[in-house]
Structure 1
C-alpha cells in the first residue's frame, strides 16, 4: 500500500494555544515552545487546550520564528489527524505515480503546479490516449459524526478553482477535484454549506458541468500517510 513518509522524527507534546493562523504554543519536555501550524484552516474542533499533538524539530534557520512544526493532533475521538495542508498534494502525486487509484488508472504523465489562465492547478495529467486533464487537491481535516466536510473556513480561492475547472472542462480537459481526508473516520464527504455556501454551490455547478469529484480517507501515523478507502461524495 502506498505510503508517503514523513521526513524527520515526531515527538509527542501538548497543545496550549494558537497565537495566530500559523503559530501555536506547545508544551514539551517541561518547557513551552512555539510551533508552526502548516495550515490556515480553523481547526477549532481539533486544536483544543491540552490536546495531544505530534511535532517535529526543524533544522535551525535564522529566518524562522519557530523551532518545531505541528504536524498531527489526536482528536477527542482518539483519531490521529494530519494538519499538513501540503501533504495531500504530495500524496496524490505518489498515488498517481504508483497507479494506486482506480479512478485515475490510465494516467501516463503528471506534472505538479501547472498554470492555467490566471491560476495554477495542483496536478496536470495526460492519460494513455493523450487526453490532458487537471486535478485540484483539497485537504480535509473536519469530520462531524462520520461526515467529512470542506472547507472548515470560507475559501474564496477554493471556490475560484472550481469555476476554473469548469472552464477547463469546457475546453476539453478532463478535470477532477480530489478531497483527501487526512484521517480515517469518515463515511462520506459533503461540502460544508454552513461555512462556505459559495464553495458548495460551485462544487455542484462543477459536477453538473462534467468535473469529477472524489474523496478518499487515509490512515495517519508517525510514519506518514497511507490510503485507506474511497468514500462517496454526497451533495
Structure 2
C-alpha cells in the first residue's frame, strides 16, 4: 500500500472486540484472555465496533491495561483513536504534507473562539484557527461526520461562522480512516441541524478539507493515504 509514513508505533496487540461497555471502555479479548481497553472516541462507531471484529491495541497508560486504536478493514485498518488522529495531523502539518495548510505552522492548541474551544491556531501568511473532526463512518465512498447528534459540534461550527464573519480565518479539517474513500460528507441523517450549519459555514468562508490515514498492521505504521480530500454536500 502506497502512503507516507506519519507514525511508527511500538508493540501492537491484535485483539477481538466483544462489547463496548461505555463511551470510553471496550471489552476485548487478546488470545484467550478477556480484558478491557480504553477508547478515545465518543462517537457511536456502531459500524466498526462489531462483535468479534479484529482490532489493534497499544499498552494502556492509565487504569486500563490496553488502548484500542484501530479496527481491521479489508487490507489495512481504520484508526478510530482521535488522539492518534490528532497526532498524525500534527506530523503531517509539520512536514507540509497537507496542501491547504502548506504555508502554515502550529502556533497554539486549544484556542477560545466565542463560547467554544477550537483545537488549533496556525500561523503563516495569516492567522488561522482550525477545528479537527473525526469522520470514520462509511457512507458509500465518503467518510461521514458525525455518526450521532452533537450539540458541541454545532456550537463550534456556529462560533467558527461568527469568527469568519468578523474577519477571522477559520477551517474545519476532517480526519477519516477508511479504505477507498474519495471525500468527506456531513451526515444529514445523524444531525440535520449540523448539516445546515456546515452549509452555512461554507458560504461564510470557513474552509473545509480532509485527509485519510490508515494503519498498516504488518509494518506497525500509520500512513497518510490521501492528504487532500474534498468535502461533498
Assess same fold via TM > 0.5: yes
Cα deviation per residue 1:114-138 (whole Å; 9 max; x = unaligned)?
Answer: 222322211101213xx21111110
Q: Which of 69, 72, 75 in structure 2 is aligned with 1:74?
A: 72
Tell me the alpha carbon deviations over residues 41-65 of structure 1, each in whole angstroms, 9 at most, x when there is no partner: 1111111111111112224x5xx1x
Per the alignment, in what secondary structure is the counterpart of residue 195 of structure 1? coil
Q: How does 1:1-235 map to 2 (within 5 A)?
A: 3-5=5-7, 7-59=9-61, 61=62, 64=63, 66-75=64-73, 77-128=74-125, 131-222=126-217, 223-229=220-226, 230-235=228-233
Distance, in Å, in 2 between the alignment partners of 1:13 and 1:231 is 30
Q: Which ranges of 4 or more aligned residues in structure 1 deviate by more than 6 Å? A: none
Distance 1:81 1:234 in 2: 21
Residue 103 of structure 1 and its aligned partner are, at CA, apart by 1.3
Partners of 2:133 and 2:232 in 1: CA distance: 16
Indicate conservation of the 8 Å contact 2:208/2:230, yes or no: no
SS in 2 for 1:202: helix
Q: Tell which has more relative contact order, 1 or 2 (C-alpha 8 A, sep 6+).
A: 2
Please, which moves more after superposition, 190-199 or 90-99? Answer: 90-99
Q: How many residues align?
A: 228
After TM superposition, the score normalised by the length of structure 1 is: 0.89
- How far apart are the structure 1 equivalents of 2:55 and 2:181? 20
- 1:196 and 1:29 map into 2 onto residues whose CA distance is 39
Contact between 2:76 and 2:214, CA under 8 Å: does it hold in 1? no
Between the aligned partners of 2:155 and 2:183, the Cα distance in structure 1 is 24
Name structure 1 gaps, 5 residues minimum.
Answer: none
The answer for unaligned runs of 5 or more in structure 2 is none
1:15–1:50 Cα contact (<8 Å) kept = yes
